[in-house]
């Protein structure tokens, strides 16, 4: 059960998937890349499978040491995912992926929800990305974001606690003064459980919830978030 109190100053958000249409963007890039290599049009199933594998490999690379810049992670992940389909990645493939991910449109429910929340809270993004790659996506959201904290800045990817600790130090708040809102379970709910951070899970994909990472509240999208978090 989510408990609000007067200490809450900042609502932090995961960006990709939670605020913007990340999964659609990755599938679009996957379709373009696959069809560059195939002699026939890629099926919806093969596109979805390739996109899912690309995300999975990228998360694996993010957990490795030493830290790799996000664009490097994407390049290595694309190379591996394409090799698994029997193809070699080209420079054009990587540019297709990066171009698609440089500007991702927000979910329709996001701008209004953030605008309402900004009447009472500061808004922050904590994202597994680079400053350059996320910049146009933040602009596309349309609502001003007070803090944009990236893995590049912290030299750590979620669920590494270091990224959240860097975010709190940058914002000048404690975890008790924040509520985190996210779609990712392994990347976000896990660290919230481990650090005792209040969190709201945005279940856009109707996923089964890992019972070890139970959030304080669950919503299908952000439309109900202002009512949940706004002081009465």
Q: What is the pLDDT of residue 33?
A: 94
Residue-wise pLDDT tens digits, 81-124: 999 999 999 999 999 999 999 999 999 999 999 999 999 999 99
Strands (E), the chain: 10-13, 122-127, 147-150, 178-182, 199-202, 217-219
Q: With beta carbons less than 8 A apart as the criterion, state whether 216 and 195 touch.
A: no
Query: Residue 227 pLDDT > 80, yes or no?
Result: yes
Instruction: Report the candidate in 77, 29, 62 with the shortest Cα–Cα distance to residue 152.
Output: 62
Q: What is the pLDDT of residue 226?
A: 96
Q: What is the pLDDT of residue 232?
A: 66
Please tell me the distance from the alpha carbon of residue 1 to that of residue 104, in angstroms, as a whole number.
32
* DSSP 8-state secondary structure symbol assigned to residue 187: I
Neighbour count for residue 23 (Cβ, 10 Å)? 18
Residue-wise pLDDT tens digits, 179-208: 999 999 999 999 999 999 999 999 999 999
Question: Sorting pLDDT into bands at 50, 70 and 90, what band is 147?
Answer: very high
Which tokens sit at 226?
């202002």
Please tell me the distance from the alpha carbon of residue 26 to that of residue 197, in angstroms, as a whole number.
29
Residue-wise pLDDT tens digits, 2-30: 888 889 999 999 999 999 999 999 999 99
Q: With beta carbons less than 8 A apart as the criterion, state whether 50 and 81 touch.
A: yes
Q: What is the pLDDT of residue 173?
A: 98
Show the domains of the chain with their CATH numbers.
Answer: 10-21+104-229 (3.40.50.1000), 22-102 (1.10.150)
Please tell me the distance from the alpha carbon of residue 20 to that of residue 231, in angstroms, as a whole number.
26
């Amino acid at each position: 059960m989510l408990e609000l109190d007067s200490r809450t100053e900042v609502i932090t958000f995961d960006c990709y998937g939670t605020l913007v249409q990340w999964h659609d963007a990755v599938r679009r890039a996957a379709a373009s890349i696959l069809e560059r290599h195939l002699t026939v049009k890629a099926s919806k199933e093969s596109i979805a499978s390739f996109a899912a594998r690309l995300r999975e490999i990228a998360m694996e690379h993010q957990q490795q040491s030493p830290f790799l810049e996000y664009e490097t992670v994407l390049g290595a992940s694309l190379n591996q995912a394409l090799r698994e389909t029997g193809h070699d990645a080209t420079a054009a493939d990587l540019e297709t992926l990066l171009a698609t991910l440089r500007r991702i449109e927000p979910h329709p429910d996001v701008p209004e929800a953030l605008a309402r929340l900004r009447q009472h809270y500061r808004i922050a993004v904590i994202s597994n990305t680079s400053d350059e790659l996320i910049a146009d996506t933040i602009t596309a959201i349309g609502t001003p974001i007070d803090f944009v904290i990236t893995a590049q800045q912290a030299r750590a990817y979620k669920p590494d606690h270091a990224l959240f600790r860097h975010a709190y130090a940058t914002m000048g708040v404690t975890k008790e003064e924040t509520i985190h809102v996210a779609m990712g379970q392994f990347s976000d709910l896990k660290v919230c459980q481990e650090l005792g951070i209040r969190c709201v899970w945005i279940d856009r994909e109707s996923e089964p919830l890992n019972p070890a990472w139970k959030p304080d509240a669950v919503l299908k999208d952000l439309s109900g978030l202002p009512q949940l978090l706004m002081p009465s």
